[in-house]
Amino acid sequence: MPSLKDIRNRIKAVKSTQKITRAMKMVAAAKLRKAQIAAEGIRPYANRLQETIWEVSQLKDVTEHPLLEEREPHNVMVLILTSDRGLCGGFNSSIIRTTEKFVKDNSEKFPEIALSIIGRKGNDHFSKRDYTIEKVYQDILTKPSMDKARQIGNEMVALYLDSGLDALYVVYNEFKNAATQEVIVERLLPVIPEETPDTSEEGLEFVYEPSQEEVLDGVIPLYVSVEIYRAILESMASEMGARMTAMDSATKNAGDLIDRLTLQFNRARQAAITKELMEIVSGAEALKG
């Protein structure tokens, strides 16, 4: 049975841990609001780019543009977004499990699958296993920007146009709320034009300058970069939400443990006092005899 000193030291250690988890929760909550605004703010822009691609592509055969043309997927790239740090619950493990399942389920369909990784946690996991890692992007999450996303997007578009890449997928956590994140597997290349539900401009004819082809040449690479940037922002908001939830749970668990240890300490102290009283009474009785 642990001594009173052992229990007291453990209570002190748990209280110190609780202070850390409470502080981390507050920091994550402060960062979450900013990340959430950024993630939600870019969604309409990305959706409008998708609508523009749909509108322009319908004016001609979509297979005429190389970034819209579907071909036999031999070489496939999977862009994975994890975090640089841990202590965020199942945020990283869900991405890793989904990626491993995607690779396993499509191993016969896609002869060659390579990984490009954003986030140290993803690199730590996949670099120790039998996966082909094409590239690890550094310093993306410390200060995310559209310029960094555009560099990644331009690299992927260049690989696709040079026939070194047949399809690009991105795996990331989409932010729903502070307690909920959904793992998304999205194909970015070739781009899949999706019809917009907005029919307010139905029947209108647009004139595109300088030409439809040049409009697509500019809009599609921009769309790929924006989608990558959106995935980064969604992932960061999800990470902050997951960390805040995990630290809140850890803080509550630490409080419960402190209560149990305090009860154990009080019982042990009471037992020690009772034992000492019994020894005193026994000694007094012995003297009387």
Active site residues: 88
What's the CA gap between 120 and 139, in Å, rounded? 10
What's the CA gap between 273 and 280, in Å, rounded? 11
Can you say whether the dihedral through the CA atoms of 149, 155, 160, 161 is positive or negative? positive
Bridge partners (DSSP) of residue 174 are 182
Respond yes or no on whether the N-terminal peptide bond of residue 111 is cis (omega within 30° of 0): no
What's the CA gap between 186 and 47, in Å, rounded? 14
For 251, the token pair is 């803080």
What's the CA gap between 118 and 131, in Å, rounded? 15
CA nearest to 242, candidates 169, 171, 183: 183
What's the CA gap between 186 and 171, in Å, rounded? 7
273, 278, 279, 281 alpha-carbon torsion, rounded to 10°: 120
CA angle 219–191–66, rounded 5-degree value: 80
Spacing of C-alpha 286 from chain mean position: 72
Tokens 């690479």 correspond to 221
